[in-house]
Structure 1
Amino acid sequence: MDPTLPVIPTSLVEVDIVQQWRDGVPGAVPVHDGESGPDLASAAERFEVDISVLRAVGASASAGEVRALPLSDGRFGWAVGVGAGSAAQWRTAGAALARAVRGRLDQVADSEDETGDLGEAGDSDYLQVRLPAEVDGDVVTALTLGLSLGGYRFRVTSRPRPPRLRKVLLVAPDGADRDELAEHVRRAAEWSAATALARDLANAPSNIKDPAWLTGVGAELATDVPGLSATVRDEKWLADRGFGGVLAVGGGSARPPRLLELSYRPEHHDGPHLVLVGKGITFDTGGISLKPAEGMHLMRTDMSGGAAVIAALLSIARLRLPVRVTGLVPAAENHVSGSAYRPGDVVRHYGGKTTEVGNTDAEGRMVLADAMAYAVEQHEPDLLVDVATLTGAMKVALGLRTGGFFATDDELAGRVSAAGERVGEAWWRMPLLDAHAEDVKGTLADVKQTPPGPGGVTAALFLREFTGGLPWAHLDIAGPARAESDYAEVVAGATGFAARSLVELAAGFTG
């Protein structure tokens, strides 16, 4: 790891299920929507204060509304709105609470007062949250995701690392099955870890994050995970085997391309072999088809699809899911130089198919095409899924909070949607319009890189040419891979979108 960066992966809060409320530990109590407004009475009872105190601080049932209130004996607490108690509202509430606690810890650090208003020394990085009487696994899962990811931050700075929330105790009601709830916490914590690692990799600045760094970090992290192996292929290996798309895109940079192969083969596995392919463009200038300067700095996150695949494979292996999964991340830097590929070039991909280049800024599909063709021939998967920040058209169609996906198989499409719903990521299936299939056919080459027509659709149709007829889904995360501001469990910057959906997609094949 580069010493100038924060430690990767980022440490997340540890969440535990407990039975008893603890004196002296800062606490939070949810405020629900009641029949005639926010149920402040229940929250006041749990805090052992008069309801007027909650009214005075403006406590509300609106999901994510957090109000701090001083309590007796120097204690401190938060009232957090959870609305009607849906999973999304609990996720939002958990994230808002994590940010509120982080803000309080920052204030304590700035004032050089280690205890501040947060309790006795040693408890300032702890929090307890009282769960509702009707708690179930969905509530605990959503709350854990929000608490784990809402306070995430990634900064390259000379300042000392700020204090952080280290542990949250979820206080279960009498009669709750704590073991069952703890299993939901464990799974949600792994989803959070996948999301946070994908954020880390995408947030890393591109003066450090070149193809060798990205693939090297992925391989290094894999070494400590049982059942998971990693191999990094260099530019000579790629050239010897005809990865023309990866080499063309990476040809304009002084930092050569790489291919990361991650293989998870549990001792006992049943069901299909799933291959995940993630776009790993570590910086994208657009090449000769140069991007506008405005917004180009965000292209450090153009490898978010590759980051999602790396993070997902690590979590799949740590969860010991009984399903075989392979991850491929073709990594390249799309730069401008005398050796850059050009519009009008004809590129020969792995396997021999040729592409007529129309725009060097459509580089993602070039590297994915090689990796997908390689997956089909060398790994013989039953199912193929690729994920990429691929087209601006998808941002126009679906905005910045929903991922678009295409699928050749209805069952696979249903699995993608269901996985996203379970982990709190929104996906929308887009049509593979066969009316535009002929537009992909080339004149100088087998296929056109940038055929006319709707950009998201034609990009997917181009990629379909390299799937070997396998059941396949293409996940375009150009919109939700980056965020301009905080919302729900998302923080500004790289979002880690798709990582936990991929983990849950794999889990769905375990029976």
Structure 2
Amino acid sequence: MIPTSLVEVDVVRRPRDGVPTAVPLPDGESGPELAPVAEAFEVDIALLEAIGVKSAAGDVRTVPLPEGRFGWVVGIGSGEAAQWRTAGAALARATREKLGETGEAEGDTVDFGEPSEAEYLQIRLPAGIGQDAVSALALGLALGDYRFRVTGQPAPPRLRKALLVTDDEELREPVARAREWAAATALARDLANSPSNVKDPDWFTGLAARLAGEVDGLTATVRDEKWLADHGFGGILAVGGGSASPPRLLELAWRPADATGPHLVLVGKGITFDTGGISLKPAEGMHLMRTDMSGGAAVIGAMLAVARLGLRVRVTALVPSAENHLSGSSYRPGDVVRHYGGKTTEVGNTDAEGRMVMADALVYGVRHHEADLLVDVATLTGAMKVALGLRTGGVFATDPDLSRRLRDAGDRVGEAWWPMPLIEDHTEAVRGELADVNQTPPGPGGVTAALFLREFTEGLPWAHLDIAGPARADKNYAEVVAGGTGFAARSLVEFVASLAEQG
């Protein structure tokens, strides 16, 4: 079922009887501050020392209490936002483990008219906690135990609701905002994790359109292969030509009546499976290419959240979607492809398909949608995985202020970005011999791919986000779980929010 259900996080003024309680444990000047925790649970400090409680962020220990009850102590380190996010994720995972022991948590039950008490958790927030810390905690709780499986087995018990106990009513707003960040991220994860025998371009764009139709004010249009051919989208058609599942172009539009600032066009790569085409990929690891539409998934998740939040910015999202398969109708190295708008590309490697479909969409965003500002997101180059590893995205931008704003947005939502250069010395290499541009120019792969895309932005302010590394994880860390990560979705939401505030 998509979207996957997430932990609901809410703010309450008073603790609930019978609901397992977690107490955060910060670093102190001379070690963990155990006295407040002992007081909260009405236990001796010696008990906390005996079970080995630690203040390291994300360290969770179960505290045995009278009458078979229990609580948790969770370390938050020095209390930075990232550490609260890690703590929230660790608590969500610890709850699942506890529920898995008996099928439900121990302790008295309380009827809230919804799930049993076993599926609830409450956290006593310290006085004076900041809004950034609370939103990070809520994000970790919502995403830390995310799980996507295609199975005929019953769903295992899990944490359904987390209650943040505090007298500060102003913390409701950052929690609500974090819920939307989490929803955007989780939907992007769902789409990336869906198997490609289901997730062809028609299913991918059609599901996104259906979900968009459930959000007031957000409109969706899916363009089929005939429309693409009639309007000259040669890049999308070339990449999708080798598959039995024809390509699509998804358009999402958010047009608030009180919009201010620039018209932002987001473009997300939507390759639902990538064999590499004639330039065939190695078999090892090819199954992971189901996540090659993670950029498009991030854009879709972000757009739904932008609309639900009612952000006062005009935003259009374009997701060109295709399967890059190998067959007699596949495009070839040496082909010359004519893109939307007329510019031509000389193909050097059919496995560089992402830039081919993105080129069409970028020009379409400029000419048809009259963009003021362009941001694209793609799992574009393996070179970025080498340059930045698997947890940091690269930002290429024509405007230093645009780069900074995107990176700052990432900082606020817990996603790491690093500025990358558009090195002008490599611009000439992008020029083609048989065509206007060369699809695979020599030089540093991440840089030259970005320079290729810049050729289709027609001089507008533009940023390219390469998420080849952080779009997928092979193990859990902080609020990330193995599989598609949903990386970039919430950065985009926060970036749009910053444009709304700028006016």
Asked if 1:456 is matched to 2:456, the reply is no
Deviations, residues 91-125 of structure 1 (Å, cap 9, x unaligned): 0000011000011122222xxxx453575572011
Q: How many residues align?
A: 497
The answer to whether the 8 A contact 1:76-1:119 is kept is: no
The match for 1:186 among 176, 184, 189 is 176
Q: 2:10 aligns with which of 12, 16, 23?
A: 16
Match of 1:487 in 2: 477
What is the SS of the residue equivalent to 1:61?
Answer: coil
Aligned to 1:306: 296
**Partner residue of 2:144 out of 143, 150, 154:** 150
Equivalent position to 1:77, from 65, 71, 76: 71
The residue aligned with 1:373 is 363
* Cα distance between partner residues in 2 of 1:273 and 1:33: 46
What percent of counterpart residues are identical? 73
CA distance in 2, matches of 1:51, 1:408: 57
Deviation at 1:242, TM superposition (A): 0.6
| 2:154 is the alignment partner of 1:160 | yes
Residue of structure 1 in register with 2:402 after alignment: 412
CA contact (8 A) 2:69 2:106 kept: no
C-alpha distance in 2, partners of 1:24/1:495?
34
The answer to whether the Cα contact below 8 Å between 2:216 and 2:307 also exists between their aligned partners in 1 is yes
Q: Give the corresponding residue for 1:509.
A: 499
TM-score of the aligned structures, taking structure 1 as reference length: 0.96
Q: Distance in 2 between matches of 1:76 and 1:276?
A: 48
Contact kept in structure 2, 1:26 and 1:119, CA below 8 Å: no
Alignment partner for residue 291 of structure 1, among 268, 272, 281?
A: 281
After TM superposition, which residue ranges in structure 1, 4 or more long, deviate above 3 angstroms?
114-121
CA distance in 2, matches of 1:404, 1:271: 25
Query: Does 2:104 correspond to 1:104?
Result: no
Is the 1:393–1:454 contact (alpha carbons within 8 Å) kept by the matching residues of 2? yes
Find the counterpart in structure 1 of residue 239 from structure 2: 249
Would the alpha carbon gap of residues 58 and 74 (structure 1) be closer, same or farther in structure 2, given more than 3 Å must change?
A: same
Larger CA deviation: 395-404 vs 41-50: 41-50
Per the alignment, in what secondary structure is the counterpart of residue 331 of structure 2?
Answer: coil
Structure 1 partner of 2:467: 477
SS in 2 for 1:510: helix
Q: Which residue of 1 aligns with 2:354?
A: 364
**2:431 counterpart residue number:** 441
**1:12-41 per-position Cα deviation (integer Å, ceiling 9, x unaligned):** 111111111222100100111011011112
Residue 61 of structure 2: aligned partner: 67
What do residues 420-467 of structure 1 show as CA deviations (whole Å, max 9, x unaligned)?
011110000100000000000000100000000000000000000000
SS at match of 2:227: helix
The 2-side partners of 1:461 and 1:108 are apart by: 56
In the alignment, residue 55 of structure 1 is paired with which amino acid?
E
TM-score under structure 2 normalisation? Answer: 0.98
Q: How far, CA to CA, are the matches of 1:269 and 1:216 in structure 2?
A: 27
Task: Confirm or deny that 1:326 pairs with 2:316.
Answer: yes
> Residue in 2 aligned with 1:3?
none
Cα offsets for 1:218-249 (capped at 9, x unmatched): 00001111110000000000000110000000
Q: Is the 8 A contact 1:76 1:118 kept in 2?
A: no
Gaps of 5+ in 1: 1-6
* 2:413 counterpart of 1:423: yes
Distance 1:481 1:56 in 2: 40
Q: 2:394·2:417 contact (CA, 8 Å) conserved in 1?
A: yes
Deviation at 1:268, TM superposition (A): 1.1
> How far, CA to CA, are the matches of 2:431 and 2:105 in structure 1?
67
Match for residue 219 of structure 2 among 206, 214, 229: 229
